[in-house]
Amino acid sequence: MWIIECKNLHAAYDRRDLGIEEKEAVKGVSFTVESGQNICILGSNGSGKTTLLRAITGMVPYSGEVLLDGQPLQKLRREKIAQKVAVMTQLSQVYFSYSVEETVMMGRYIYQEGLLGRPTKEDCEVVAESLEAVGLKDLAKRQLNTLSGGELQRAFLARTLAQQTPVLILDEPTNHLDLKVQAELSEYLREWSQKPGHTLIGVFHDIPLALALADELILMKQGQILAKDGKETILQEDLLTQAYDFNVLNYIQTMTQPAEQFLKKQ
């Protein structure tokens, strides 16, 4: 069963607030995602990956059609979308002063009754579990503006996890994280994505991480899908070179060979 279906999707990248002119970033894209499937989107900077994620969650205007669990996205109320899809965007400037725990609790608002609904025991338990999952349990009372970039990234990931949705959409979730935390979060996401009914859609620059998580890969270039298929099909030298404009596989081999040779000597 398709959980997300896109038909002839067009969307623009609009950051005129930063002096960047609006331009079409997604150009006539069509694809489907099955319930329980894990899709990782690859492509160079400016290929349309982030705008595609924002369009299929209704965060930017689009033309074409997006169906979420068989229903037109534009006809669904925001809280209904939020109960099906949790989104973690790229880290940006924080302008509000909340504790880590309060921030993660925001992921539970969609389940609370009324504008000033009080957290339930279940809400508190879910928040604690989410903080534990990202390694921030000991920083629960810290203010966001005192966190490092990696800690802040983990706080927002915990908020996303606290929504407990069947679909998780992540935009470069391991940015700003040190290697240990990257490894821990990657393992958590792998375990999460293997649970029945869980669907993961993510944008990654880290190709090995994408390979570890994905059932299928989407390869984008200049706002269009160059290919959508299994890992064996996508990881072809000519296809990756076409997408990135240089020999990606050769680069990966060149960068990993010294480490492999060193480890063999140990």
Question: How far out from the chain centre does Cα 31 lie?
Answer: 17
Give the architecture (CATH level 2) of 2-96+159-235: 3-Layer(aba) Sandwich (3.40)
pLDDT at 177: 78
Q: What is the pLDDT of residues 4-17, one digit of tens each?
A: 999 999 999 866 65
Taking each helix axis from N to C end, the angle separating 237-244 and 248-265, rounded to the nearest 10 degrees, works out to 110
Asked whether the CA dihedral 57, 3, 127, 149 is positive or negative, the reply is negative
What is the overall mean pLDDT for the chain? 88
Q: What is the pTM of this model?
A: 0.88
- pLDDT band of residue 145 (cuts 50, 70, 90) is confident
CA distances from 190 to 19, 33, 58, 193 (A): 38, 18, 26, 5
Domain ranges of the chain: 2-96+159-235
Q: 223 is written with which tokens? A: 């706002």
Average the pLDDT over 149-169 and give the result. 91
Neighbours of 54 (CB within 10 A): 21
Average the pLDDT over 56-82 and give the result. 94
By the 8 A CB rule, do 228 and 29 touch? no
Buried b (16+ CB within 10 A) or exposed e, 81-117: bbbbbbbbbebeeeeeeebbbbbbbebbebbeeeeee
Q: Tell me phi and psi for residue 200, to 5 degrees.
A: -115, 130
Neighbours of 186 (CB within 10 A): 18
The region of weakest confidence among 46-50, 78-82, 96-100 is: 96-100
